[in-house]
Amino acid sequence: MQDWRVVTLTQPWATLVAIGAKRIETRSWETLYRGPLLIHAGAGLAPVGGMRGLVELIGRPDFQRVLAPAAHGGGYWQDIEDAARALPRGAIVARCELVDCVLTWPHWAAVEPWFTATRGEQYWHVPPAAGSDERAFGDYTPGRHAWLLADARPLATPIPARGQLGLWRWRGEVVYG
C-alpha cells in the first residue's frame, strides 16, 4: 500500500485532468508539495451550480470538444445530461505528477507576464494563450496559483473516497486504465 497525496476537483475538471486535457489546475492557494498526486472527483456540484450548471458547462464547445471523444471514442454525446450524470463523482479518478506551483499573474507585474515552465520535453505557459482550451479550463486572474501537472493517467476503475479540502492523504493501491 502506498501513501498518496490527493486533491479534490469538481467535475468536469477532474475528468479533464484524468484525460490529459487540463495540465494546469488553478487554485486560490499554493502548495510546496511536488510529486505524485491523485485526482479526486468531488461528489458535490455546488461550485458549478448543481447538475444544471454542469450540463451547461460541458455543453460549451470547448468542453464538449475535449470531453466527448474521451467518453464515446470520438463521437459527440447524444444527450449531454446523460453525459453529465456519467462523470464519476465521489471517487479518485487519476494519478499525475505535480511538477510546480507558480503565480498566475504576479502582483508586481504591470502587464500580463508569460511564465514558461519546462520538464523534459513538456512545457507549460502560464497563463495559457487566450482562446486555448487550457485557458478556458482555469481561472487565471491575478494572485491565483497554477499547479503544473504532468503525466496524467486515468485509473482503470474510479476508487470511491470522500474528498477533503486542501491536499489530503489516502492510503491504497491504484490500477491504471
Torsion, CA 134, CA 124, CA 109, CA 140, rounded to 10 = 20
The cell for 55 is 450540463
Burial class (CB in 10 A: 0-12, 13-18, 19+), 57: buried
Tell me the domains of the chain and their CATH numbers. Answer: 2-164 (2.30.130.30)
Q: Give the pLDDT confidence of 57-88 residue by residue, as tens digits.
A: 988 988 888 887 655 544 445 677 878 888 99
pLDDT of residue 20: 93
Q: Give the pLDDT confidence of 89-131 residue by residue, as tens digits.
A: 999 999 999 999 988 875 555 555 566 666 677 766 677 777 7
